[in-house]
């Protein structure tokens, strides 16, 4: 049953992610230009869109944690009702406001143009950057709300921590490798670019996470040949968690330069 809950919760979050991305792309394509007028129009629409989507993901996550804890504990656990200001905007980016953050795709375009990159290519790079930021912001809403819900409701139910669960075998390879990692209840789950991982609580007696992961990976393996390529048991040798000034904990490959193209692409960087 916990498996079905995790699958449903991940599908619901994925639907919000798809809808938000499609809406943002439509806004981006409809901009009058990529100068200050375009920027004002972009911010007018993207800032409320992101706040609403982050809130929806926080609510879905709050409900999922309450349901999975109810099943594990054998009694009804109520969702918390997480305050929006804890799981939206600047609260998830160490104080950086959405207005400052979502100017970055424009700065990307202006920078590329200054480097003599062709206009349509520069706009494409700006769009990629915007989409990557959106993916990160939605995942941060999920990791923060998971932490809030687990650390509020978990202790009295004997929850000692949680496990990262992949939401599909198409998840980034880092997340597949990290799937066996356990986190303390108060820790924020480290993310990676385009991370879509969920969480599964662990008590001293119950750890449904591994079963959930197998369910996701099995389902995906029937449609693709990607599963089984990476053994999670090598995880601790390969992975390293680094603290990013704006995003918090981030999964990286051990020994790789933190800002290298293989770990956090420019889209998730902060110094634009
Ligand atoms: Zn992930």
Number of domains within the chain: 1
Q: Is 101 a domain residue?
A: yes
d(CA 165, CA 176): 8
d(CA 103, CA 99): 6
* pLDDT value at residue 145: 98
Range of the domain at 149: 4-257
Residue 118 alpha carbon to ligand 1 centre in Å: 34
Q: Is 216 a domain residue?
A: yes
Report the range of poorest mean pLDDT among 18-27, 95-104, 167-176: 167-176
Q: Is 263 a domain residue?
A: no
Q: Is 147 a domain residue?
A: yes
Report the range of poorest mean pLDDT among 11-25, 95-109, 232-246: 232-246
pTM for the whole thing?
Answer: 0.87
Q: Is 196 a domain residue?
A: yes
Residue 51 alpha carbon to ligand 1 centre in Å: 22
Residue 266 alpha carbon to ligand 1 centre in Å: 18
Q: Is 37 a domain residue?
A: yes
Task: Check if the beta carbon of residue 72 is closer than 8 Å to that of residue 157.
Answer: yes
Q: Is 153 a domain residue?
A: yes
Residue 56 alpha carbon to ligand 1 centre in Å: 19
d(CA 21, CA 31): 16
Residue 89 alpha carbon to ligand 1 centre in Å: 20
Q: Write down how long the chain is.
A: 272
The residue-averaged pLDDT of 225-234 equals 44
Residue 188 buriedness (CB in 10 A; 0-12 / 13-18 / 19+): middle
Q: Is 264 a domain residue?
A: no
d(CA 170, CA 110): 33
Residue 32 has pLDDT above 80, yes or no: yes
Residue 87 alpha carbon to ligand 1 centre in Å: 18
Residue 86 alpha carbon to ligand 1 centre in Å: 21
pLDDT digits (tens, 9 = 90+) for 161-198: 998 888 766 666 777 778 767 899 999 999 988 889 99
């Amino acid at each position: 049953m916990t498996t079905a809950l995790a699958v449903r919760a991940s599908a619901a979050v994925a639907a919000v992610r798809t809808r938000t991305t499609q809406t943002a792309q439509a806004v981006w394509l409809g901009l009058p230009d990529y100068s200050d007028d375009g920027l004002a129009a972009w911010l007018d629409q993207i800032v409320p869109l992101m706040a609403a989507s982050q809130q929806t993901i926080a609510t879905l996550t709050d409900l999922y944690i309450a349901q999975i804890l109810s099943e594990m504990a054998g009694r009804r656990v109520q969702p918390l009702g997480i305050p929006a200001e804890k799981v939206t905007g600047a609260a998830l980016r160490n104080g950086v406001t959405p207005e400052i953050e979502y100017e970055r795709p424009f700065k990307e375009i202006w920078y590329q143009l200054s480097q003599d990159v062709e206009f349509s290519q520069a706009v494409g790079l700006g769009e990629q950057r915007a989409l990557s930021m959106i993916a990160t912001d939605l995942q941060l809403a999920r990791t923060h709300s998971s932490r809030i819900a687990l650390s509020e409701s978990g202790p009295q139910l004997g929850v000692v921590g949680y496990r990262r669960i992949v939401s599909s075998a198409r998840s980034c390879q880092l997340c597949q490798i990290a799937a066996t990692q356990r986190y303390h209840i108060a820790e924020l789950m480290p993310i990676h670019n385009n991370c879509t991982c969920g969480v599964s609580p662990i008590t001293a007696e119950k750890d449904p996470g591994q079963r959930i992961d197998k369910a996701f990976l099995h389902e995906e393996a029937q449609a693709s040949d990607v599963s089984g390529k990476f053994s999670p048991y090598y995880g601790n040798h390969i992975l390293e968690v680094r603290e990013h000034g704006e995003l918090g904990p981030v999964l990286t490959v051990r020994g790789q330069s933190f800002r290298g193209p293989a770990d956090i692409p420019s889209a998730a960087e902060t110094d634009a």
